Chains A and B, each alone.
Chain A
Amino acid sequence: MNSRNIVLFIGGITFGFGLAWGGMSKPEVVLSFLQLKDYGLVLLMGAATVTTFFAINVVPRFLKEPILGGEFKPRTRTLSRNTIVGAIIFGLGWGLAGLCPGAALASLGIGNLPVLAGIASMFVGAYAMGRFFG
């Protein structure tokens, strides 16, 4: 295991721990947000985004490059029709299953075994996208 993979593994453990603590690993919690009954996930996403904002926009002022090498580059994508059509399709699926990709993995970690069917379907969906529209 090289050092980059170790860092990603530890980062993943932290990410999954936070998803579970914040309840996003439970489809019921996600659905109650999307049904506008509990706005807590706005706080969760806000707290995660503000923390990451400092890492992406402030830390590079004091640190020339990442500690293990590489470069600091904000995550940008070009806006296209696919961005929006894809987000519409994702949103419809999110409201149906109550799961997004990361939360589905964390859901497995809290013992929700039926979510394996959802994760398998995500792979099939991603395959269909790459096979027919990639």
Chain B
Amino acid sequence: MFPLGIWSYIIGGLIIGIGVSFVYILTGIHSTQSSLFSSTMSYFSKIPYFQRKTYLDSREWRLYFAAGVILGAVIYTLTVSPDGWWTSSVGIWRLVIGGFLVGFGTRLSSGCTSGHGISGVASLSTTSVFAVITFILFGVISANLMTMLGVAI
């Protein structure tokens, strides 16, 4: 069940939780990820959907937050990482098509693995619980379909 062991997962999860909690206790903000795509679009698009108050109010901190996420992974790689810089071998077409579906789906659903998964479930939101069950179920279906079709990675 756990070919890579359990501790890196538990420690990683605790560190993520500490980051989210730190932001919440200081500011009351739920530091979630996928709204970044829509809020950043408000700088470029006049479409009313992107000009909503929630995106205008959050677009600046979401960019600082995203820059932090990237930098945090850089710091990990330069300090405690056992394998250093790392490149995935998942095919580019999977990233492009999958990425489109992730961007579209998370915004339609109003949340992703962090918004529904961490902050929503921690808020005891039944909506988020339904969303999490749904995206994990369809993630499992999609990943196994790829395997069955013989697409290795």
Contact = CB atoms under 8 A, between A and B. Distances in A.
A86 B26 CA distance: 31
29 contacts: A8-B68, A9-B67, A11-B65, A12-B67, A16-B69, A17-B73, A28-B153, A34-B136, A34-B142, A43-B2, A48-B14, A48-B20, A50-B122, A51-B14, A55-B17, A66-B25, A75-B120, A83-B130, A91-B136, A91-B139, A92-B139, A94-B101, A101-B37, A101-B103, A111-B87, A113-B87, A121-B100, A122-B37, A126-B38
B88 A115 contact: yes
Interface of A: 1, 4-29, 31-32, 34-41, 43-57, 59, 63, 65-79, 82-115, 117-131, 133-134
Contacts of B66: 12, 105
A64 B136 CA distance: 36
Interface string B62-85: 101111111111111100110011
A93 B49 CA distance: 23
Given A9-B65, A14-B22, A75-B128, 15 more contacts: A10-B68, A16-B69, A16-B74, A21-B80, A40-B5, A52-B119, A68-B26, A72-B28, A75-B120, A85-B109, A91-B141, A117-B95, A121-B102, A123-B103, A133-B108
Contacts, number: 541
- Interface of B, helix, strand, loop or mixed by DSSP: helix
Interface of B: 1-6, 8-34, 36-38, 40-41, 45, 47-50, 60-62, 64-77, 80-81, 84-90, 92, 94-128, 130-132, 134-147, 153
A17 B29 CA distance: 20
A95 B11 CA distance: 24
Contacts of B38: 126, 129-130
A109 B147 CA distance: 28
Contact of A95 (B4, B30, B146, B153): B146
Contact of A98 (B16, B62, B98, B104): B98
Contact of A40 (B2, B26, B50, B132): B2
A99 B97 CA distance: 11
A68 B3 CA distance: 43
A62 to B, nearest CB: 10
A46 B146 CA distance: 27
A19 B107 contact: no
A9 B64 contact: yes
A131 B45 CA distance: 9
A121 B22 contact: no
Contacts of A51: 13-14, 16-18, 20-21
Contacts of A4: 27, 29, 61
